[in-house]
Structure 1
Amino acid sequence: MTDPQLRRPAWRPFVHAGRVLILVAIALIIHLAATLHAPDESGPSPTVDIAVTKQLFETADRLAEGDVVLDAAGQTLGRVIQTSPAGDQAIGFSGPTNVLLGFSSDEKIVGMAILSSRDTREHVAAIEREGKFLDSLDGLTREEVLARTDFDAVSGATLTSLAMIEAVQRTLGGVQRSLKFPEPPRIEVVRKLYPDAESLAEDPHYPALLNVQDASGAQIGKLLRTSPAADNVVGYQGPTDMLIGLDNDDKVTGLALSHSYDNEPYVDYVRTDDYFLGLLNGQSLAELAKEHLESLQIEGVSGATMTSQAAAIGVYLAAAERIKAYQEAKNSREQASLIQFRQRDYITIAVVVIGVLLAFSPWRGKPWARIPFQILVLVYLGFANGDFVSQALLVGWAQNGVPWKSAFGLVLLVAAALALPTFTRTNVYCSHLCPHGAVQQWTKRRIKWQWKPSTKTLPWLKAIPSVLLAWVVLVAAARWSFSLVDIEPFDAYVWHIAGWGTIAVAVVGLIASLFTPMAYCRFGCPTGALLDYVRYNGKSEFWTRRDWVAVGLVALGAVALLF
């Protein structure tokens, strides 16, 4: 008789790998659906609604050029900046949040407001209710915000609130605007340095740096404005905004006077003195930044000594500020590339490791080991952190990226949930690490009367998680505004931020589990169905009806993406 193993088709071992590829394809569709409509980080920021601005400046009437805030009389109240798109890499629980930050006229923060968010609705709402968090930066300067690390997060929305602070710091790492010279340089002035100049494009990370473009839109040079670095350097009567022409090596190619508060006769002397305007040609920004202002011997323009000296000092200050900002941005990128461990991460990692060890140990069925660990999972992962592997979380990460640098503990929990059943046959998350699963294990057979679904009813009940997964894919691929937290019970454990939908699912599921063991896990959990689908088992080498359903989800997502 022929050995059955020898008759096994060669393609069967690849069937299970195909299931993993199907999930990757669905995640890719969800990601494309989000990124194709997301703001470009190098592009312009979204338009700011004046109604939101009034949350920060009560008497605000309109926004002028450079997002300067004006009242009804045209008086300057301050300015606003938003963290999108520069801060969109800061992912909270499931996505980034665009924060509006207000600065007073003396460059101190007056408050934060939420413009929009791709994070979970309940988490964002909790932050908006927690007024103290949005006021937590009030009175701080840009430098103080960048230097601080001890920010208090909102309970129940820890990842979302910390991501908002990260977005603010990412944005402030390069952005500093001028209230004294909010208008852009005139193109006729720019042409003194670049005759073919037609337009200017502001650097999104450093507004004082301008890219000079010709009629075709090609970049032909760079300009560095001395404002706002030199806004407090007064000549005869006021400050002056100079333009520093730069080549590709950041060496000076010439100076031009843009705007000034000084007296016009003196300003015109500086504007037309070619010797003075070419005095620093060939020097690099790095060299200028190293100069000590106290020891400078500046040869001023005859008849406009104070104005020209103030303009020259502004050039040195602008160079020093640019080099400083460059170094801060470099340090920020290096810091962002490091995993940031918090106490929350260490404890979550410990819980995951203990859960995995327990799942593969002979103690997993022993009450003395199982029950204390379930209590730990319920209290810490459930009520304290709200750390669940949910569809809202997975979709958010597929859309916006995985926050493995800022939430490593949660990422490890999700990685364990997905990887272990795929390679080890054991669904560790559902059996050991899910707080809602732990509660259902406690309610199992606590009452005598139990309900067993009939053979006709059972297939319909088992189909519910697949239907919910199809809904998740459709919502994510079609970019509908439906909140996915409402189809699962997990946010109910963070009760003070939970909506009525998720609370209802939690309560109904637990009541049902009293009459049918693990009722929600078996007949209602799309995340459990997803993990069970990738679990390797004795039938994994056979193509089944579930696989056709999964292929249908890929097709459904692709169609939704196109429309």
Structure 2
Amino acid sequence: MSGVRHDLLPIVDREALSKPLRGPGRFFWNTVIHSGRVLLLVLLILMIRWQAEQTKSRAQAKDLTARYLPVVQKFWPEAQRLVSRRQAEISDGGLPRSNSRKFDQLVDFVVLDAQSVPVGYVTQTTPASDRFLGFSGPTNLLMGWDIEGKVAWAEIAASRDTRDHVELIVRDGRFLAQWNGQGFQTVSEDIVDQSAMRHVAGATLTCLAILQGLEARLNSQELVAARPADSTRFPLAVTIEDVQKLFPQASRFEPHSETSLLLDVFAADGLRLGQIFRTVPAADQLIGYQGPTEVLVSLLPDGHLGPLLVGRSFDNEPYVGYVRDDAWFAELVKGKTVKGLAETTFEEWGVEGVSGATMTSQTIARGLLAAAIELSKEIEAQQKQPSIDSKHQTSGFFGLMRTINWSSPRLWQQTLTGLVVLLACLVGLTHLRGNLWVRRGLQLLVLGYLGVMNGELLSLAMFSGWAQSGIPWNSAGGLIAMSMAAVALPLVARTNVYCSHICPHGVLQQWMAGHRHWRPRLPARVVSVLRLVIPALLLVALCGSMGVLSISLVDLEPFDAYSWRAAGWITTVLAVGSLVISWFIPMGYCRFGCPTGSLLEYLRRNARSGQIQPGDFLALACLIIAGGLMLWDVVGP
């Protein structure tokens, strides 16, 4: 019976087969070699992070003609070669006649035909555009100018952004053609007012990054630097239409004389109706499901806050729409003061969110707090009334302790998740795991609370995102606690508690494995083929994390299906399909299809940790591939 259980649960119970470590020498070598495994994974994480950062500042390729000539020939078929501006004979008409030296400096390449006669001129936005990221990276735009200095065409030469968004812009065509026929002066002036620029629906962030990069290149970043307080995600100005939604009698508005964070709103007769402030750029880095959201907040003459307006957003539009249509949310801050809101913590506020858009609405609420804190600090600084006591109350350790509100539903949610993880560790590390009633009770709690209610499961998509962008310490306490247990216990306690006791998908498979019914006997050759699935998924995930493949890692695993309100059809099919397979093949998904569980098992120490294992070759191969991708990205074709 014991042998059968180990066959069914290779990740869960294989540790029981391991013999205890004996002898200081064996322990030493086990520790050294297993530390090498951990080092391999750490190096992979650093490579993923380096690659994400490297895309922001890629150096210009050496062979520019070979790289860009095919792009140029799409619009100027007679083009034969590109030469740099310095190589061109300016005195012989190599550059257009212009009253602006700035345009002369703008030209990067002169396009020549077979007789070395200039066909036109090309500007590239890199490296000025490298710091402007869309969904996942920067874009290098080529802009072609005719002999008279008018825009002839614009084309994306290279992009580290998501492939689907870039292809959508290229297919649309109108975004790249909006400057055709315009001169340098017109383009450089119009690009500042990006509200007048065309965007492509579905690729807004990519369009915005292109516009920001073009503005930085055309204007030498002079105008960009002049607006240090502007939002990089929401650079578009507030419109009178937006203001009138909060103050219907508004006729005009202008920046406040004492702070750039406030806008004064006036009626037609000059009466000041109130003020408005935006939650961006303070909330630029607060991400809901997919992106940040801008909010305009009204400030009434009596000093109290009025209604708010949910403006532009990079989040999922259905969820943002739910928030916009919710009358209660529009008056979320009504009656509060800026100072009072700034001194309120999210836990004290107790915003449970809008039904169907909890994460989006709660992220917007956090943005309101961040903007209120920023505005309050600037107002206090201008009034020159610093308070040492208030600083101690709102910052540091004592400020953190003061902000804890044990009656907050969100705090209880995070705390309960941590307690479930702690309980699972207690059961998994003690004799309680042998008690059937304790084990069943824990499984029901894990499946119901972590799975169905919260959808809190570890995944490659989560780990990859954290490796690229950092860990969200302020919003994912439950997942962080779960991750710490999942990673630390295999190293310290030599047992994989997450797969055996915490994973809801594993719970369902364990129940299926305990049910007696007909199961096919897999031939050894089929098993050998199935064992290749996990390595293949890990390699695909690595390429996706390194930006080589334009894929969403949530589509590689079924875990996102537990977030059933927002789950896509691919992950839903994977979830159902993996459970169907596990009905006939005990623990089938854990054994043959779970890359996350395989990574955690790779971290687990055992009596054979001092021996070279198949996973070591896979980890080394991933390291070599990642290094090769980094090298390829640096040197380029």
Q: TM-score range by the shorter chain?
A: 0.5 to 0.7
Please give the residue correspondences for 1:105-124 in structure 2 after superposition, counting only pairs within 5 Å.
106=300, 108-113=306-311, 115-116=313-314
The separation in 1 between residues aligned to 2:448 and 2:557, in whole angstroms, is 19
SS in 2 for 1:355: helix
What pairs up with 1:159-308 in 2 under 5 angstroms? 161-175=361-375, 206=378
Which residue, 414, 421, 425 being the options, matches 1:352?
421
8 Å CA contact 1:83, 1:98 repeated in 2: no
Compared CA separation, residues 116 and 519, structure 1 to 2 (3 A): same
* Paired position in structure 1 for 2:99: none
Measure how far apart 1:324 and its partner are. Answer: 6.2
Q: Residues 64 and 473 from structure 1, CA distance in 2 versus in 1: closer, same or farther, beyond 3 angstroms? A: farther
Which of 385, 389, 393 aligns to 2:462? It is 393
Q: What does residue 623 of structure 2 align with? A: 554
The structure that is helix-richer by fraction is: 2
- Cα distance change on mapping 1:392 and 1:366 into 2, 3 Å: same
Contact 2:319 / 2:360 at 8 angstroms: preserved in 1? no
The alpha-carbon distance between structure 1 residues 369 and 395, as it changes in their structure 2 partners (threshold 3 A), is same
Counterpart Cα distance in 2 of 1:497 and 1:335: 38
Alignment-mate amino acid for residue 150 of structure 1: W
CA offset digits 1:381-402 (Å, max 9, x no partner): 1111111112222223323333
Does the Cα contact within 8 Å between 1:352 and 1:413 map onto a contact in 2? yes
Match of 1:416 in 2: 485
Cα deviation 1:197-217 (Å, max 9, x = unaligned):
xxxxxxxx84x89xxxxxxxx
| C-alpha deviation, 1:102, in angstroms | 0.4
Q: Partners of 1:533 and 1:150 in 2: how far apart?
A: 43
The yes-or-no answer on 1:30 pairing with 2:48 is yes
Q: Secondary structure at the match of 1:102?
A: strand
1:138-171 deviation digits (Å, cap 9, x = unpaired) = 5355334324432323468756654443343223
Give deviations 1:36-67, integer Å, cap 9, x for gaps: 64879x88521526599777866999998768
CA distance in 2, matches of 1:518, 1:333: 48
Could you tell me which of 330, 335, 349 is aligned with 1:150? 349
> Which ranges in structure 2 are unaligned for 5 or more consecutive residues?
1-21, 57-130, 134-227
- Preserved CA contact (<8 Å) 1:475 1:481: yes
Q: Which amino acid aligns with 1:503?
A: T
1:103 to 288, 297, 303: 297
320, 330, 340: which is aligned to 1:135? 330
Within the candidate set 394, 410, 424, 1:331 is matched to: 394
Give the Å deviation of 1:17. Answer: 0.6
Residue 418 of structure 2 contacts residue 482 of structure 2 at CA under 8 Å; is this kept in 1? Answer: yes
8 Å CA contact 2:292–2:314 kept in 1: the answer is: yes
| Whole-Å separation in 2 of the counterparts to 1:549 and 1:510 | 27
Question: Which of 576, 599, 603 is 1:507 aligned to?
Answer: 576
- 2:170 alignment partner in structure 1: none
Higher mean C-alpha displacement, 431-440 vs 137-146: 137-146
The aligned counterpart of 1:460 is 529
For 1:61 and 1:543, the matched residues in 2 are separated by 75
1:81 aligns with 278
Q: Secondary structure at the match of 1:389?
A: coil
TM-superposed deviation, 1:489: 1.8
Kindly tell me: are residues 77 and 27 of structure 1, through their superposed partners in 2, closer, same or farther at Cα, counting changes over 3 Å? farther
| Alignment equivalent of 1:45, drawn from 226, 231, 251 | 231
For residue 434 of structure 1, report the CA deviation from its aligned partner: 0.7
Q: How far is the alpha carbon of 1:539 from its aligned partner?
A: 2.3
Deviations 1:212-234 (A, max 9, x none): xxxxxxxxxxxx8x6xxxxxxxx
| Residue correspondences, number | 413
What percentage of aligned pairs have identical amino acids? 31
Give how far 1:135 is off.
3.3
Secondary structure in structure 2 of the residue aligned to 1:112: strand
The residue that corresponds to 1:319 in the other structure is 384
Structure 1 residues 411-560: aligned runs within 5 Å: 411-444=480-513, 446=515, 448-478=517-547, 482-560=551-629
> CA offset at residue 110 of structure 1?
1.8
Contact kept? 1:374, 1:438, Cα under 8 Å: yes
Aligned residue in 1 for 2:36: 18
Q: TM-score, normalised by structure 1?
A: 0.62
Is the CA contact 1:80–1:102 (under 8 Å) kept in the aligned structure 2? yes
Q: Deviations over 1:260-309 (max 9, x none)?
A: xxxxxxxxxxxxxxxxxxxxxxxxxxxxxxxxxxxxxxxxxxxxxxxxxx
Say if 1:334 and 1:521 are closer, same or farther in 2 by CA, change over 3 A.
Answer: same
CA contact (8 A) 1:56 1:112 kept: no
Change (3 A) 1:364 1:544: same
Classify the secondary structure of the residue corresponding to 2:278: strand
Which runs of 5 or more residues in structure 1 are unaligned? 177-204, 210-223, 227-317
- Measured at CA, do residues 472 and 12 of structure 1 come closer, stay the same or move farther in structure 2, by a change above 3 Å? same
In the alignment, what sits opposite 2:202? none
SS at match of 1:437: helix
Q: Distance in 1 between the 2:38 and 2:528 partners?
A: 24
> What's the offset of the Cα at 1:360?
2.3
Give 3-state SS (helix, strand or coil) of 1:103's partner. Answer: strand
Structure 2 Cα separation of the partners of residues 52 and 479 of structure 1? 38
